[in-house]
Structure 1
Amino acid sequence: MKFLYDLFPLLLFFAAFKFYDIYVATAVAIAASFVQVGLFWIKHRRFETMHVVTLAVIAVFGGMTLLLHDDTFIKWKPTLVYWILSTILLASQWFGSKTAIERMMSSQIALPSTVWKRLNLSWGIFFAVLGAVNIYVAFYYALDLDEETRRNIWVNFKVFGLLGITLVFVFAQAFFMAKHIQDKPGPGETPPNRTTD
């Protein structure tokens, strides 16, 4: 259910694009992102980093798309979100006592510290690469085609391509984690050695 909740601004963007155009879709995505963050706050009394980063970027770049009637800005949105997340993850690799991935997931799963660092690094690199791939598809792929066709290709790639690539990566990471999961200690028990692999 949370997976669908996280995706509903993207799904509404796609539906609005198919029925109307990129500008209506952008407005719908901005509104849906505000609703998403607001509902999450009402239910949990906290914000989720991914929701806030996405809202901030789409509010600014989506707003510029609508104001200037130029879809260049909304095409940059996925790249900026991915690169912001990549920067957060990679910075936590060297600063702080725990990586960002460990801070998010260590309450549910126990892994050696070296594994947390590998996971964190792989996600940081993955997001950096996704951002670059989005730029390629949005601005450099199939330049021989007309603008409307290229816009359709980008929207389909944004919704299905980026999501599909991410799901494959998630499954690969889950398989990797499964090989290293440690039993979480009970009350009063000594935690497992976190310095071993």
Structure 2
Amino acid sequence: MKFLFDLFPVILFFAMFKWGEGHPEAAQGLVQQYLSGLVSGGAATVSQAPIMLATAVAIVATIAQIGYLLMRGKKVDVMLWVSLAIITLFGGATIYFHNETFIKWKPTVLYWCFGAALVISQFALNKNLIRLMMQKQLVLPDPVWQKLNLSWAAFFGAMGLVNLYIAFNFSTAFWVNFKLFGFTGLMLAFVIAQSLLLSRHVKDPQ
């Protein structure tokens, strides 16, 4: 359930882009109606409208995620706040400049922020963030926790590079598809691979 909750903005981004692709004039009309005050020059072309509309929906969806958690009295993860800041900054730039380049950089910046947080916490603050998140579910030797933390940092670094390659070597439509299905598939594959490797080191809780 949490997995789908985390994917909520990405799913809406994908759905709105696909709708805008199929109805470009209608998408342009919505951009003109609701976003014209945020757009440099006050207008967007038919080809620009789908990505701009999808970006606006993703920003609103991320805000809604945080609002939902706050209303239920639940803690909002730091990374969700970071995600909101990044999508607002890069998404806002995409809408204002009607330029998709900014939103295409957003996943890379987010992944690299995640990776940097893991590395800096381990070496500068002597904190293992992966251990803090997973120690209630897993009991592992200290060296394995350190390797696990660094492997996630490396994975996020690689994901950022993959995003840049896909974003700037393929069409925007292909990138939007990959953003949902490709990255989700890579994440699941990595988690499964990690689980298989960790099974040799898991200790039974005393």
* 1:13 alignment counterpart: 13
- For each residue in 1:113-141, what CA deviation from the matched residue of structure 2 results, as whole angstroms up to 9, or x when unmatched? 111111100000010011011111111x2
Which AA in structure 1 matches 2:92? G
The 3-state SS of whatever aligns with 1:31 is helix
Which AA in structure 2 matches 1:50? M
Which TM-score applies when normalising by structure 2? 0.82
The 3-state SS of whatever aligns with 1:182 is coil
| Alpha-carbon distance in 2 for matches of 1:44, 1:125 | 34
Deviation at 1:168? 0.2
Say which of 68, 75, 80 aligns to 1:46.
75
Q: Which structure has the highest helix share of the two?
A: 2
Deviation at 1:42? 2.5
Deviation at 1:96? 2.9
| Alpha-carbon distance in 2 for matches of 1:134, 1:120 | 21
Say which of 132, 135, 144 aligns to 2:164.
135
Unaligned runs of 5+ in 2: 21-49
Which TM-score applies when normalising by structure 1? 0.86
Which AA in structure 2 matches 1:112? P
| Alpha-carbon distance in 1 for matches of 2:138, 2:190 | 18
- For each residue in 1:26-52, what CA deviation from the matched residue of structure 2 results, as whole angstroms up to 9, or x when unmatched? 000000000111212233431113322
* 2:149 alignment counterpart: 120
* 2:65 alignment counterpart: 36
The 3-state SS of whatever aligns with 2:72 is helix
Are 2:192 and 1:171 aligned? yes
- For each residue in 1:80-106, what CA deviation from the matched residue of structure 2 results, as whole angstroms up to 9, or x when unmatched? 000000000111231334311011111
* 1:159 alignment counterpart: 180
Q: Give 1:175-194 correspondences, 5 Å limit.
A: 175-185=196-206
> What value does the CA root-mean-square deviation take over the aligned residues?
1.3
| Alpha-carbon distance in 2 for matches of 1:52, 1:131 | 19
* 1:190 alignment counterpart: none
| Alpha-carbon distance in 1 for matches of 2:69, 2:197 | 30
| Alpha-carbon distance in 2 for matches of 1:184, 1:47 | 29
The sequence identity of aligned pairs, in percent, is: 47
| Alpha-carbon distance in 2 for matches of 1:119, 1:99 | 9
Unaligned runs of 5+ in 1: 143-149, 186-197
Say which of 103, 107, 116 aligns to 1:87.
116
